[in-house]
């Protein structure tokens, strides 16, 4: 269906036709007739990159009253990048609409400049929740005449810890306003927003709830953990025209992977919370211009990025929260183009693939890491394709051609081709000569694990110490469990992050409701214990200590005491968890109010996007 058939005004049609918009995408076909004809509350469930900005932006621009300067539309989104992108899109849509002013408001930029712009009058504000809440508390923005509030990427805003800010903002808007909620996934927190702030909303769902995009193919590569980076390079070499975001779990890992890729000669860079706003903008501009082929990023830093034509999303590590995979994979396969989402995993992580398949209602295909020979062949023919398709300026090169032919006349055609190919190709041949097979044989690995699985239980050792064929392990007790949303990968990630050492050998992990046991190589056990000292998860102090050996008489005084304590605390936590969360949230608000916009450096940047909150939340 065309936008003209949907009832878009001539002024807006002229602008979007210049942008190359012809036919409406599914979410636009569903929402535009409703929003253009009625004043309603609406909940739209649609994947990232499906055209949601136009779905709410076009009707808002068409319906605003331009006879005054009152702010009538407020759009809230999770990150500054998405904020800027939505504002720019709406400015483009309203290019020929007189009086339509759009202002992006976000942290990390001068609040004084934004206040001066607000005083002049703005029809539409696009804002991050944190900065918008600051402006409301300072009484520098008038939203008393808001007609529509749009919550874009609502699930991400809640996941980043913006619930209190959203509540404050929505409470400050008129009760007569209408709310439009757009989300890629629909967790309970988003449903609660709809329930509390929206009366009888119309619901639009594109695809199956929490489902991944139909335009994305999903693959996983099974490798040993130590070969993860080698596998990444092999994949990058196999796709010479790759244009990808590589997702890592932590800022440290993101920087490490990026540095290694750059050192190895790849067009890569990193995006994470430690970068200044100027650095982020510089990296993103280079990436959008495709001067960078691979952007290595954390989930928080990459939220809200709107980049077209990504060929791949690569999960260097799978996310701890499975719903986050939907957001990652949704970065590719946009605007009816096909994309590929890749997960590089080891045997211990394979169960996560099955869980994600259930979540996104899509099957993963197991792929083989290309061999060195396959990579070389792919690179060779990619180079030949480029030669075939290169534009030749015949008039300019004609003057040089006689000298060139004379210089090369001693070579026959075959020798000329060989030398031409070798000029660019020798480095790949050299690098991949004798390259090992990185693929894991699942059947062989399972048999090996079965035959060696009980060795660590034999022998007599000091408390908490076990042995297997690789050496002594010490069993540690950590006071985090299922109730803290702890999974093995998250526990390993915490150890990697806290110790700044990704090479600590980990053995068996047992997670209970309120605590966990983890086997750590003996010579690193004390480092892990020290690293956990003083750490907190969601306001609760975390501790690690050597566990008592199972079966020993001291267990009643050691682990059993902790178990009983955990069970007693269990009921207390159930009854007081809500109060604790409220206290914690109020404490965050007080800290945020004291900080205001006078802070600088890392804290200010993280405050602007909510990334600092996400960093706390992630572990």
Residue-wise pLDDT for 442-457, tens only, equals 766 555 555 544 443 3
CA distance 519 to 492: 11
Q: Give the contacts of 72 (CB within 8 A, at least 6 positions apart).
A: 64, 65, 123, 124, 145, 146, 147, 148
In this prediction, residue 284 carries a pLDDT of: 87
In this prediction, residue 593 carries a pLDDT of: 44
Q: Which residues pair with 73 in a beta bridge?
A: 124, 148
Average pLDDT of the chain?
80
In this prediction, residue 583 carries a pLDDT of: 46
- Kindly report, residue by residue over 306-326, the tens digit of the pLDDT: 677 899 999 999 887 777 888
CA distance 73 to 83: 14
- Kindly report, residue by residue over 19-71, the tens digit of the pLDDT: 888 788 888 888 999 999 888 999 988 766 678 889 999 999 999 999 998 99
Angle at 533 between CA 529 and CA 539, to 5 degrees: 130
| Of 230-239, 368-377, 567-576, minimum mean pLDDT range | 567-576
3-state SS string over 284-319? HHHHHCCCCCEEEEEHHHHCCCCCCCCCEEEECCCC
Dmax (CA) for the chain in angstroms is 93
Q: Percentage of residues in the chain with pLDDT exceeding 90?
A: 30
| CA 72 to chain CA centroid, nearest Å | 31
Order of strands, sheet of 102-105, starting from the edge strand that comes earlier in the sequence = 102-105, 124-127, 73-76, 148-151, 178-183, 42-45, 202-205
Confidence of residue 609 (pLDDT cuts 50, 70, 90): very low
Q: What is the mean pLDDT of residues 485-494?
A: 82
Q: Is 10-205 a domain of CATH 3.90.1310.10?
A: no
In this prediction, residue 455 carries a pLDDT of: 40
Dihedral sign, Cα of residue 134, residue 138, residue 141, residue 142: positive
- Reduced to 3 states (helix: H, G, I; strand: E, B; else coil), residue 79 is coil
3-state SS string over 445-513? HHHHHHHHCCHHHCCCCCCCEEEECCEEEEEEEECCCHHHCCCHHHHHHHHHHHHCCCCCCEEEEEECC
Q: Which residues pair with 128 in a beta bridge?
A: none
In this prediction, residue 418 carries a pLDDT of: 82
In this prediction, residue 49 carries a pLDDT of: 64
In this prediction, residue 301 carries a pLDDT of: 72
CB 124 within 8 A of CB 90: yes
CB 502 within 8 A of CB 250: no
Which backbone phi and psi does 10 adopt, to 5 degrees? -60, -40
- Kindly report, residue by residue over 335-364, the tens digit of the pLDDT: 667 889 999 998 888 888 988 888 788 889
In this prediction, residue 549 carries a pLDDT of: 55
Dihedral sign, Cα of residue 134, residue 137, residue 139, residue 145: positive
| Of 241-250, 298-307, 405-414, 560-569, minimum mean pLDDT range | 560-569
- Kindly report, residue by residue over 121-179, the tens digit of the pLDDT: 999 999 999 999 999 999 999 999 999 999 998 887 887 778 889 999 999 999 899 99
Angle at 405 between CA 399 and CA 408, to 5 degrees: 140
In this prediction, residue 599 carries a pLDDT of: 34
Whether 605 shows a pLDDT value over 90: the answer reads no
In this prediction, residue 188 carries a pLDDT of: 77
Task: Give the residue among 485, 509, 84, 604 at the shortest CA–CA distance from 306.
Answer: 84
Whether 467 shows a pLDDT value over 70: the answer reads no
Q: What is the mean pLDDT of residues 94-118?
A: 92
CA distance 200 to 197: 10
In this prediction, residue 613 carries a pLDDT of: 41
CB 238 within 8 A of CB 342: no
In this prediction, residue 331 carries a pLDDT of: 81
CB 128 within 8 A of CB 83: yes
Task: Give the residue among 57, 76, 359 at the shortest CA–CA distance from 197.
Answer: 76
Whether 557 shows a pLDDT value over 50: the answer reads no
CA distance 520 to 477: 11
Whether 553 shows a pLDDT value over 80: the answer reads no
CA distance 478 to 476: 6
In this prediction, residue 292 carries a pLDDT of: 93
CA distance 491 to 563: 19
Residue 598 has what DSSP assignment? T
In this prediction, residue 448 carries a pLDDT of: 52
Domains 10-205 and 461-567 share a fold: no
In this prediction, residue 469 carries a pLDDT of: 39
Q: What is the mean pLDDT of residues 255-266?
A: 91
In this prediction, residue 444 carries a pLDDT of: 60
CA distance 150 to 55: 11
> CB neighbours (10 Å) of residue 405?
9
CATH number of 216-369: 3.40.50.300
Whether 611 shows a pLDDT value over 90: the answer reads no
**Looking at beta carbons, which pairs linking 228-231 to residues 24 or more positions away fall under 8 Å?**
228/316, 228/344, 228/346, 229/257, 229/260, 230/438, 231/344, 231/369, 231/438
CA distance 519 to 165: 41
CB 78 within 8 A of CB 162: yes
Confidence of residue 510 (pLDDT cuts 50, 70, 90): confident
> CB neighbours (10 Å) of residue 596?
13
Which backbone phi and psi does 345 adopt, to 5 degrees? -130, 165
- Kindly report, residue by residue over 381-426, the tens digit of the pLDDT: 888 888 888 888 888 888 888 888 888 888 888 888 888 777 767 7
CB 517 within 8 A of CB 477: yes
In this prediction, residue 177 carries a pLDDT of: 92
What is the topology classification, in CATH, of domain 461-567?
Alpha-Beta Plaits (3.30.70)
- Which range in 253-262, 486-495, 603-612 is most confidently predicted, on average pLDDT? 253-262
In this prediction, residue 447 carries a pLDDT of: 54
Domain boundaries, the chain: 10-205, 216-369, 373-431, 461-567
Q: What is the mean pLDDT of residues 593-618?
A: 39
- Reduced to 3 states (helix: H, G, I; strand: E, B; else coil), residue 151 is strand
Confidence of residue 72 (pLDDT cuts 50, 70, 90): very high
């Amino acid at each position: 269906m065309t936008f003209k058939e949907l009832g878009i005004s001539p002024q807006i049609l002229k602008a979007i036709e210049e942008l190359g918009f012809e036919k409406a995408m599914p979410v636009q076909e569903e929402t535009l007739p409703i929003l253009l004809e009625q004043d309603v509350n609406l909940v739209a469930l649609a994947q990232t990159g499906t055209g949601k900005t136009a779905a709410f932006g076009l009707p808002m621009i068409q319906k605003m009253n331009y006879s005054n300067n009152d702010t009538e539309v407020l759009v809230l989104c999770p990150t500054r990048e998405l904020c800027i992108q939505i504002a720019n899109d709406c400015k483009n849509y309203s290019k020929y609409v007189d009086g339509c002013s759009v202002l992006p408001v976000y942290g990390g930029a001068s609040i004084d400049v934004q206040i001066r712009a607000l005083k002049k009058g703005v029809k539409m504000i696009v804002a991050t929740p944190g900065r918008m809440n600051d402006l409301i508390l300072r009484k520098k923005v008038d939203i008393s005449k808001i007609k529509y509030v749009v919550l874009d990427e609502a699930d991400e805003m809640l996941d980043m810890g913006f619930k209190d800010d959203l509540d404050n903002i929505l409470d400050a808007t008129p009760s007569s306003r209408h709310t439009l909620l757009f989300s890629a996934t629909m967790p309970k927190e988003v449903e609660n927003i709809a329930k509390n702030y929206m009366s009888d909303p119309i619901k639009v769902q594109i695809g199956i709830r929490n489902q991944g995009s139909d335009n994305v193919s999903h693959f996983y590569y099974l490798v040993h953990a130590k070969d993860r980076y080698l596998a990444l390079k092999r994949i990058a070499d196999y796709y010479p025209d790759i244009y990808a975001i590589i997702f890592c779990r932590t800022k440290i890992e993101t920087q490490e992977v990026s540095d290694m890729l750059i050192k190895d000669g790849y067009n890569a860079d990193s995006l994470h919370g430690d970068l200044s706003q100027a650095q982020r903008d510089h990296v993103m501009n280079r990436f959008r211009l495709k001067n960078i082929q691979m952007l290595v990023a954390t989930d928080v830093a990459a939220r809200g990025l709107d980049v077209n034509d990504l060929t791949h999303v690569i999960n260097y590590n799978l996310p701890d929260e499975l719903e986050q995979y939907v957001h990652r994979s949704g970065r590719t396969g946009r605007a009816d183009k096909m994309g590929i989402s890749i997960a590089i995993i080891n045997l211990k992580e394979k169960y996560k693939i099955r869980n994600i398949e259930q979540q996104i209602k899509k099957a993963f295909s197991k792929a083989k890491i290309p061999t060195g020979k396959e990579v070389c062949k792919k690179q060779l023919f990619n180079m030949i394709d480029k030669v075939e398709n290169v534009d030749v300026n015949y008039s300019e090169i004609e003057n040089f051609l006689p000298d060139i032919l004379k210089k090369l006349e001693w070579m026959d055609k075959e020798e000329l081709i060989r030398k031409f190919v070798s000029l660019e190709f020798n480095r790949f041949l050299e690098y991949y000569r004798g390259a090992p097979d990185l693929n894991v044989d699942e059947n062989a690995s399972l048999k090996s694990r079965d035959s060696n699985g009980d060795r660590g239980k034999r022998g007599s050792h000091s408390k908490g110490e076990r042995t297997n064929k690789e050496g002594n392990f010490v069993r540690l007790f950590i006071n985090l469990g299922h109730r803290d949303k702890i999974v093995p990968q998250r526990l390993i990630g915490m150890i990697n992050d806290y110790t700044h050492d990704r090479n600590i050998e980990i053995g068996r992990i047992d997670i209970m409701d309120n605590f966990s046991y983890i086997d750590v190589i003996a010579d690193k056990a004390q480092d892990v214990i020290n690293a956990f000292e003083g750490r907190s998860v969601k306001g609760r102090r975390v501790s690690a200590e050597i566990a008592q050996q199972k079966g020993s008489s001291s267990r009643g005084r050691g682990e059993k005491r902790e178990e009983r304590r955990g069970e007693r605390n269990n009921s207390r936590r159930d009854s007081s968890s809500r109060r604790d969360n409220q206290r914690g949230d109020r404490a965050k608000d007080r800290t945020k109010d004291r900080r205001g916009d006078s802070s600088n450096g890392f804290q200010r940047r993280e405050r602007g996007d909510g990334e600092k909150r996400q960093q706390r939340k992630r572990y």
